[in-house]
Amino acid sequence: MMRLASRCWSRVGERGLSTGQLQVALEPLDGSIFMLTLNRPDARNAIGRQFLRELKESLDNLVLERSTRCVIIKSSVSRVFCAGADLKERANMTRQEASAFVRDLRGTFSALEALPMPTIACVDGYALGGGAELALACDFRVCGTGAQFAFPETRLGIIPGAGGTQRLPRVVGTPRAKELIYTGRRISAQEALDIGLADHLADSVSAEDRALRLARDIAQGGPVALRMAKQAIGLGMEVDLASGLLVEEACYAQVIPTQDRLEGLKAFAEKRPPVFKGE
């Protein structure tokens, strides 16, 4: 079992160090699903140095975990997923520090996107600026009815800098992405679903329950198979079809020698659920 990001930070006084409360927590729900919880209620989960450092540590831990089949990212703060960058902290940064922070933020979200297992953003409140970019870096976005998305950076004299200008057009199309980024307007959960920014809208259950249902459906697949499927789709969509088929071939070759593949065949023949081990 992986080492969890569960320690409390207690050093105070040095720039960027924690004041004591964990802002990002990672915990297993069972042997195959992990929950990554955003927990900075005093700042609506705004992304500052400590928040970003703990998020990076959680992602580093997840990369080491071989049997995890899905990760859900949610907020513990009512009516907020993530309010974006901590602008109060940003105001005290030098130009060089601000540039370095945004570069680090961009790299962290790219690391989230590159996690080998499927990821779900459970958005049940505001996802603004960097918060919307955080959700975009996940494979799926499951929304509650109160979810709202916005990319308000141009109204602050900047642009989305953690992947928003690149991932949003790939998800909703270029014209819609331009409108959302140029205007900075907020959109509802229903509009997000209509344009493809949200994948599921939980209208009869909580967003967390709907995200858990999707995660458990995903977790029925083999860990190696899920990772190779994610890699094949992700890499294949960046190249032409002929090259994409070669990517698929290479990824398929990775599942051929696995014990999970043999277990899947055996379970099918015996008419029982397979017991995958990620081997």
Residue 127 CA to residue 137 CA, distance in Å, equals 13
For the record, the structure tokens of 18 come out as: 């924690």
Catalytic residue among 46, 85, 198, 215: 85
45: DSSP letter:
T
Annotation says 264 is catalytic: no
**Active site includes 130?**
yes
Instruction: Tell me whether strands 33-38 and 24-28 are parallel, antiparallel or unpaired.
Output: antiparallel
89 counts as catalytic: no
Return the pLDDT at 19.
54
Residues of the chain with pLDDT under 70: 1-20
**Res 12: pLDDT:** 31
Q: Choosing from 133, 164, 177, 264, which is the catalytic residue?
A: 133
Options 84, 153, 215, 222, the catalytic residue? 153
Within 8 A by CB and 6+ apart from 103, the residues are: none
> Helices (H), strands (E): how many in the chain?
11, 10
Q: Is 133 a catalytic residue?
A: yes
Which helix H or strand E contains 144, and what residues bound it? strand 140-144
Out of 125, 130, 163, 221, which one is annotated catalytic?
130
**Encoding tokens for residue 25?**
């927590």
